[in-house]
Structure 1
Amino acid sequence: METFGRVAVTIFIVVIVRWGWKVVNWVWLKPKKLEKWLRNEGYKGNSYKFLLGDMREFAKMVKEGRSKPIPMITHDITSYALPFDHHIITKYGEKAFIWLGPKPRVYIKDPELVKEILSRPDDFPKPHPEPFRDSIVGGLLVTEGQKWNKHRKIINPAFNLQNLKIMFSAIQSCCSEMVCKWELLTTGIDDSIEVDVWPYIDNLAGDVISRTAFGSNYEEGRKIFQIQREQIDLLHQMLFMLLLPGRRFIPTRANKKFNQNRKELQNVLKGIIDKKKKAIETGESSCDDLLGILLESNSKEIEENGIGMSMEDVIEECKLFYIAGSDTTSNLVVWTMVCLGLHKEWQVRAREEIKEVFGNRELDFEGLKNLKTLTMILYEVLRLYPPVIMTTRATFKETKLGNMMIPPGVTLALAMIHIHHDRDIWGEDASEFKPERFLDGISNATKGKGSSPYLPFSSGPRVCIGQNFAMTEAKTAMAMILRRFSFELSPSYKHSPFPIFTMPPQFGAHLMLRNISS
């Protein structure tokens, strides 16, 4: 027994020592080693602070940024949208890094390097875990390797051109309902009226994705939309806690509510999916919405190859439909209205084009491709106000990038918004609203740099699968709005493009709306 006791104590000590070594390596030795490598490569940033890194200053500047709008209306928004990142890049130059806990994040602003990273997803996968992202979405956004290839193959049919045509009537119907609400607000008023258009546009995007994703179950879909909106707000309340180990179990009110919402979201989605499966099996429902098409494609994959997506996988893809599908489009539509409210000459040009293409008849899917002026406007809005202003990739092994060998454990921040506002790429007017730069297409809009610096939907193999869906919805919404209303910014408008998951106007979008349909 005495020998057994000594062996047990020895094993216990060995385990504790090994565990302690891993902790010390994680919180101190590895970060200091990576810091030395970064500085040897010419990168500059703050010295590593034990465990927290730059998180305290990061959270403080984000909180301050969210508390107030930009003092003046400008499209030069990088310092406001990414306050801490902009501060570090301004302080240390192009080759800068920050510490998010014990992990360094290096800024990549060279479009060619960004293009190389995005074209090599196996060498530069998405960071795992990534607390903010992983708490809200999953699916294709976070899946890697063979699993991603399989899921992309299964989901692709949901976003092909033929199915997009089928969904067009649902998109048009939702846009018409929003426009009717605005007409009620402006009926009998000769002059313009102040309206915060953001809640309407946000709800429009939720309605569109609810109808196109879940068909007849769209009312339940709206519940998902509301839960996910609350989840994003709760995450911002917990920003400082996100990188702490065991964060899910810290008993704060926000954390408790977040975990309750997560369970409710799973249950609601599982119920919708089960109901849709049964309706398809009994012939009560067709496969003409995103969920139906996905389930049909998944069944085909299982029949042909024996394995497809699990219930959990389908739930994660449905969550992604909502965040990516609704937020991307709502942001594009609202910033387009803000830009056209500022630059009314483009509002007039777009309205005249819509009248020329459609006359007094209803919009149709085929006609949308003839809206060249509106397309240029949307391209320019996506450049100035990209839905995703920064994305990250990671290294899990020593990896060559350009002329560097990057060690494992480094996060690469691809600074889309900085590239979109770079004067060396777009000219001295890079922060001005000039849709005419896209007159001859995207590849000719830059100063000889081609299309690689234009990244509103990312690029490479993992380019956004829903970009055509987003553009169709945005064109439809803007065409219907411009036909019936003229608008300009209200004196009470506060310019506040601040990133949450995408980049909505955090203080709303107050416009002076005038009905011109009569």
Structure 2
Amino acid sequence: MSAGFMVSNIFSTILRALCPLLFMFLVFKLVEFAVKIWWIPLTLTKFMEKQGIRGPPYKFLHGNNKEVGLMVMESSAKPMDFSHDIFPRVQPHFYSWIKIHGSVLLCWLGPKPQLIVTDPELIREILNNKRGDFQKPKKNSIVKRLLGDGLVSANGEKWVRHRKLANKAFNGESLRGVLSKMVISVEEMISRWRDYEGRDTEISGEFRVLTLDVISRTAFGSSYLQGKNMFDLLAKLGKIVASNVQKIDFPGSGLFQSKDEAEAKILDQQITKSIMKMIEAREKKVRNGDANGYGDDYFGMLLQSQVNSNISLQDIVDECKTFYLAGHETTSALLTWTVVLLAMHPEWQERARKEVIQVLGSNTPSIDGLAQLKIMNMLINESLRLYPPVLFLTKASIRKVRVGKFTIPSGMELVVPPLAAYHDPSQWGDDVNLFKPERFAQGVTTAASTQVSFIPFGYGPRICVGLNFATLEAKVALSMILRCYTFTLSPSYQHAPALRITMGPQHGAPIIIHSQ
């Protein structure tokens, strides 16, 4: 008997033995797939309907994705007039569904159920839950490339460890230390603007560079130009993520990569490589005997924690990506919309300018001085209300839980769309879509009917740790701009708010600036 025949015989025997196992595996995967795309939607819809919760009907496999895509495409096809009634444009699906189904409704992101909650008391109960009934939901494979498992996404003990570290980086004393670096970044931008006087200046791009520079200086000891390569990589990855937010990971889908997934993987590897070079540079300083080699910024705190075995190297990479993204996207959007609003409402621009000159004069902005800018506070809050950068607050139930009069099954994703509350006349009055900063004259707590009617930085235990940092940065930038320039909207400006990673101007935000 030849050796080749024996090998062939053994191979055939192995195949015959594996075939039943392979068949069972395929059957199991098919059953798992059928349960996910048919059985769960069917049974869950009936369960929620018995409690009075309804919503748009589930469509096989794609859920409500196609309907949402068509509605958003139609609403964003052309610019709107200079109105602040933006909810029907930016989130037309939520706007329509809430009118039909009420303040609690069930919809479907593919076969994944989502409970949309706009009832203030339920929002308070969900976001302020301290029993651990809710966690941050799992991200799809592409979104996870951008956020990793950093502070925004982490849960449990890992989140507690990272939150303590972030709290230390953003306490009052730390903010006093970063103020001078914020001022330097704004001074460089304002100096650059001298070349733009009387011409269209696209400020959303300007504020993106500014906020990235601030993050670089305050948290990573560099500058925008030094980190430009990594910022460009993050921007490319962000665009891919924005177009794949609704992507669903089906059982077995990890075996095949789409073009976007392949590109996201390459970008993620390049970003990680850039961060590793930053780590190596700091470690080299330590090896060379530099007493402050790790640095006293946020990046240095991360590295020191890794030395003390509190976090892993991958944790550092994830936190850097999270911090770069969260640290500049929201503040950039806030600054853009605030300047657009001040350009639309020149009387408020002049009031804010007079306050800045009266309080700060020609002095460098200080913590104490900025705290006295009452009109500035009102403007920032009204900007955050009308044009909130973050349009989704998400949680996922990890067990069966009672919320208000409803029973929420385990694994349910809960979505709070802040824009719905911020443009709700029952919570803000009939002038809800008007620009009226004076509604915040007595502070945030008395501006609306409930405390959770205005939560631009979240609410409860997971309120944004960078709240004070972002507010301080916005005040520094706006006060220094107002002191140097007046500005109007360019005739080429098209009012078209749109959702990407955060809410920004679909066609940019060109303004015309003039020296004071």
Q: TM-score, normalised by structure 2?
A: 0.91
Distance 1:246 1:260, change over 3 A: farther
Deviations 1:60-119 (A, max 9, x none): 3334455433x2111111111112222322343333222111112121001221121111
Aligned residue among 56, 62, 71 for 1:61: 71
Counterpart in the other structure of 2:138: 128
Query: Is 1:50 aligned to residue 50 of structure 2?
Result: no
Counterpart in the other structure of 2:381: 379
Counterpart in the other structure of 2:186: 175
Is contact 1:107–1:412 with CA below 8 Å preserved after alignment? yes
Residue 253 of structure 1: how far off its partner (Å):
4.3
Counterpart in the other structure of 1:476: 476
Provide the rounded CA distance (Å) in 2 between the counterparts of 1:246 and 1:64.
Answer: 34
AA partner of residue 36 (structure 1): K
Unaligned runs of 5+ in 1: 187-191
Provide the rounded CA distance (Å) in 2 between the counterparts of 1:224 and 1:242.
Answer: 28
Query: Is 1:289 aligned to residue 291 of structure 2?
Result: no
AA partner of residue 181 (structure 2): A
Deviations 1:11-49 (A, max 9, x none): 555444433322221111111111111222222223222
AA partner of residue 510 (structure 1): P
Is contact 2:29–2:251 with CA below 8 Å preserved after alignment? no
AA partner of residue 104 (structure 1): P
Aligned residue among 404, 407, 413 for 2:406: 404
Distance 1:63 1:255, change over 3 A: farther
Provide the rounded CA distance (Å) in 2 between the counterparts of 1:240 and 1:334.
Answer: 26
Counterpart in the other structure of 1:257: 263
SS at match of 1:216: coil
AA partner of residue 336 (structure 2): V
SS at match of 2:113: strand
Aligned residue among 134, 158, 164 for 2:169: 158
Aligned residue among 221, 235, 238 for 1:215: 221
AA partner of residue 37 (structure 2): V
Distance 1:207 1:137, change over 3 A: same
Provide the rounded CA distance (Å) in 1 between the counterparts of 2:285 and 2:346.
Answer: 49
Residue 373 of structure 1: how far off its partner (Å):
0.9
Residue 362 of structure 1: how far off its partner (Å):
2.2
- Percent identity, aligned pairs only? 35
Distance 1:3 1:94, change over 3 A: same
Provide the rounded CA distance (Å) in 2 between the counterparts of 1:365 and 1:277.
Answer: 33
Residue 309 of structure 1: how far off its partner (Å):
0.6
Is contact 2:33–2:251 with CA below 8 Å preserved after alignment? no
Provide the rounded CA distance (Å) in 1 between the counterparts of 2:396 and 2:490.
Answer: 43
Distance 1:216 1:389, change over 3 A: closer
Deviations 1:186-233 (A, max 9, x none): 2xxxxx433222211111111111111210365443322221111122
Residue 511 of structure 1: how far off its partner (Å):
1.4
Residue 507 of structure 1: how far off its partner (Å):
0.9
Moved more, 385-394 or 336-345: 385-394
Distance 1:256 1:286, change over 3 A: closer
Aligned residue among 357, 367, 388 for 1:355: 357
Provide the rounded CA distance (Å) in 1 between the counterparts of 2:183 and 2:94.
Answer: 39
SS at match of 2:488: strand
Distance 1:89 1:131, change over 3 A: farther
AA partner of residue 50 (structure 2): N
Counterpart in the other structure of 1:235: 241
Is contact 1:132–1:242 with CA below 8 Å preserved after alignment? no
Moved more, 140-149 or 484-493: 484-493
SS at match of 1:99: strand
Is contact 1:44–1:96 with CA below 8 Å preserved after alignment? yes
Moved more, 246-255 or 345-354: 246-255
AA partner of residue 293 (structure 1): M
1:13-52 alignment to 2 at 5 Å?
Answer: 13-52=23-62
Counterpart in the other structure of 2:460: 460
Distance 1:57 1:464, change over 3 A: same
Is contact 1:210–1:222 with CA below 8 Å preserved after alignment? no
Provide the rounded CA distance (Å) in 1 between the counterparts of 2:207 and 2:247.
Answer: 31
Query: Is 1:274 aligned to residue 284 of structure 2?
Result: no
SS at match of 1:452: helix
Counterpart in the other structure of 2:119: 110
Residue 248 of structure 1: how far off its partner (Å):
6.5
Distance 1:249 1:201, change over 3 A: farther
Distance 1:95 1:153, change over 3 A: closer
Provide the rounded CA distance (Å) in 2 between the counterparts of 1:231 and 1:202.
Answer: 16
Provide the rounded CA distance (Å) in 1 between the counterparts of 2:452 and 2:104.
Answer: 20
Is contact 1:105–1:410 with CA below 8 Å preserved after alignment? yes
1:410-429 alignment to 2 at 5 Å?
Answer: 410-429=412-431
Counterpart in the other structure of 2:156: 145
SS at match of 2:107: strand
Q: TM-score, normalised by structure 1?
A: 0.90
Aligned residue among 180, 189, 196 for 2:202: 196
Aligned residue among 79, 82, 94 for 2:88: 79
Residue 399 of structure 1: how far off its partner (Å):
1.0
AA partner of residue 319 (structure 2): E
SS at match of 1:400: strand
Task: Provide the aligned C-alpha RMSD in A.
Answer: 2.5
Unaligned runs of 5+ in 2: 1-9
Is contact 1:54–1:101 with CA below 8 Å preserved after alignment? yes
AA partner of residue 223 (structure 1): N
Residue 359 of structure 1: how far off its partner (Å):
1.4
Is contact 1:61–1:84 with CA below 8 Å preserved after alignment? yes
SS at match of 1:141: coil
Query: Is 1:390 aligned to residue 392 of structure 2?
Result: yes
Provide the aligned length of Structure 1 versus Structure 2.
Answer: 502
Residue 457 of structure 1: how far off its partner (Å):
0.3
Is contact 2:213–2:223 with CA below 8 Å preserved after alignment? no
Provide the rounded CA distance (Å) in 1 between the counterparts of 2:371 and 2:62.
Answer: 50
1:336-351 alignment to 2 at 5 Å?
Answer: 336-351=338-353
SS at match of 2:365: coil
Provide the rounded CA distance (Å) in 2 between the counterparts of 1:83 and 1:380.
Answer: 22
SS at match of 2:310: coil
AA partner of residue 402 (structure 1): G
Moved more, 77-86 or 175-184: 77-86
Distance 1:199 1:15, change over 3 A: closer
Provide the rounded CA distance (Å) in 2 between the counterparts of 1:124 and 1:6.
Answer: 47
Provide the rounded CA distance (Å) in 2 between the counterparts of 1:249 and 1:175.
Answer: 47
